[in-house]
Amino acid sequence: WEYVKSPFLFFFSPQVLLLACAEDLECVPGFQQKVFYIEEPFAFTEDQPVLNLEFDDCKGNNKLNFEVSNPDFKVERDGSLVALKNISEAGRALFVHARSEHAEDMAEILIVGANERHGALKEIFKIEGNLGIPRQKRAILASPILIPENQRPPFPRSVGKVISSEGAEGAKFRLSGKGVDQDPRGIFKINEITGDVSVTRTLDREAIANYELEVEVTDISGKTIDGPVRLDVSVIDQNDNRPMFKEGPYVGHVMEGSPTGTTVMRMTAFDADDSSTDNALLRYNILKQTPTKPSPNMFYIDPEKGDIVTVVSPVLLDRETMETPKYELIIEAKDMGGLDVGLTGTATATILIDDKNDHPPEFTKKEFQATVKEGVTGVIVNLTVGDRDDPATGAWRAVYTIINGNPGQSFEIHTNPQTNEGMLSVVKPLDYEISAFHTLLIKVENEDPLIPDIAYGPSSTATVQITVEDVNEGPVFHPNPMTVTKQENVPIGSVVLTVNATDPDTLQHQTIRYSVYKDPASWLEINPTNGTISTTAILDRESPHVQNNVYTALFLAIDSG
């Protein structure tokens, strides 16, 4: 070919950019233009021409035939490229192979976005010297191949053909990629002379749905002279997988008294077949309900979504009147849109009827008794209640409150989580001499609020009578400790101080006697009746029993109880 020095463009439509070849000085067989750039449209419209290709074998184009790499397009006898249907995505390139009685050639149509247009033109015109030289394009046409899975022997089986316009003597096709010379090896082969592609064994779409192979043309020495180009092999799905419920166990909850049509749960099955086909189009159905009372049809499942809903009236959905609050449904999923020929899978749905808080807790008796020794803390009595609601819910769990008789906050009450009893405790020691009796008023409620038409009644409150038992308490010194300052070497028998202890048991008439408990240097004595402390030896500041000028002694006060 010969080219004029200045490259130029023809705009045949707003979407098509055509690279102009040079003006021919003589007829050259083949496509008169080999590379086209299309600005990607929003969609290709059925039967609307995309562009015109001009092929001339210089001998009348007898028996001219066009092949397009994308089966959704064709080339008319006059060279018009048209879409066979409305297409929103055509990939990034189309290859057109033309063959007549006397010549064959290949053209490449590249599809670029609007923002790629400037860069695409730069690629078209790579300047070498002062001549515009278009890029050389590959001459291999490798149309996608579709193969049904689960084909039966005999193998190998022809599945497609690769075409090359490269006519070098001794040229051969070579196929490579996963499924050829990479694991799993040996699935596909190519006839190195004709380009026929064959499969050697049964394919499983669920194992590998697509193979991306590469085809190249080599010379007689094995050197690549064209390619590689990509060859896509897609495995067509067969309905060979049953629906499976993978996310179990399936457990749903619905509140008793819920309105008809309340959604309980969703059951979703998985089908390994192609999701774009009826092979994986699932429909759901309830095969069995256990138990069958109060109605054999308590629930309905949406055949398409798998949503399980209630279909009985709220009156029948009453947990207290049911023989059991648990229902089991056998759910079936069938592919092929639920047709009789579809494959099926089943799973169990467990539905629990949850309890409303329609029964308030009630004390088992109106008055409880308790006895506690003064000065002691801890649990003194367990208050018992009854509640007909579900023990596993907040409608049953009790919450206790002291509403009267606890001004000093000496008492607290907590719930035993296992028994639901109220554990009444003394948290501040009680004093018999201050009060020998206490009366508490306690109410009980649930963690969850009662439903609107139910209220707490008189049985939800109770009285606790607490008797405090007197304990003989030891005398108490006032103040304690006591501090006195004396000179060393004071005469023996000198009075140091007089201590005083009182008995907290004011209601008991007891006498108090005093004694020495600890006197490290044996310097002191105490009068057992009046508590007067005096010296029995000379006080010595330098004694080892004196620390930082301080001598410490301990004394006891003992009552007659």
Nearest Cα neighbor of 374 from 294, 436, 290 is: 436
Question: What's 472-561's CATH class?
Answer: mainly beta
Question: What is d(CA 389, CA 320) in angstroms, rounded to the nearest whole number?
Answer: 8
Q: Which pLDDT does position 321 carry in this prediction? A: 86
Among the ranges given (36-40, 141-145, 220-224, 231-235), the one the predictor scored with the smallest mean pLDDT? 36-40
CATH fold of the domain at 362-469 = Immunoglobulin-like (2.60.40)
What is the structure's pLDDT at 418? Answer: 94
Position 561 scores a pLDDT of 65
Fold of 9-133: Immunoglobulin-like (2.60.40)
pLDDT tens digit string along 195-248?
Answer: 999 999 999 999 999 999 999 999 988 899 998 999 999 998 889 999 999 998
Task: Provide the pLDDT for residue 4.
Answer: 30
Q: What is the overall mean pLDDT for the chain?
A: 86
Q: How far apart are CA 272 and CA 209, in angstroms?
A: 11
Contact 176, 213 (CB under 8 A): yes
Structure tokens at 89: 């995505």
Strands, E, within 407-511: which ranges? 411-415, 422-426, 437-446, 461-469, 476-477, 495-498, 501-502
Name 337's bridge partners.
none
Instruction: Give the bridge partners for 31, in sequence order.
Output: 55
pLDDT at 190: 96
DSSP secondary structure code for residue 195 in this structure: -
pLDDT at 262 over 70: yes
Residue type, 304: E
- CATH code of the domain occupying 141-236: 2.60.40.60
Helix, strand, coil percentages for the chain (3-state, nearest 5):
5, 40, 55
Query: Which one, of 307, 395, 297, 289, lies nearest residue 350 by Cα?
Result: 289
pLDDT digits (tens, 9 = 90+) for 155-204: 999 888 888 876 677 899 999 999 999 999 999 999 999 899 999 999 99
pTM across the whole model: 0.48
Most confident of 59-63, 244-248, 331-335, 489-493: 331-335
d(CA 141, CA 70): 10
- Of 39-43, 96-100, 448-452, minimum mean pLDDT range: 39-43
Domain-by-domain residue ranges, the chain? 9-133, 141-236, 250-354, 362-469, 472-561
User: Is 141-236 the same fold as 9-133?
Assistant: yes
Instruction: Note the residue count of the chain.
Output: 561
Topology of the domain covering 250-354: Immunoglobulin-like (2.60.40)
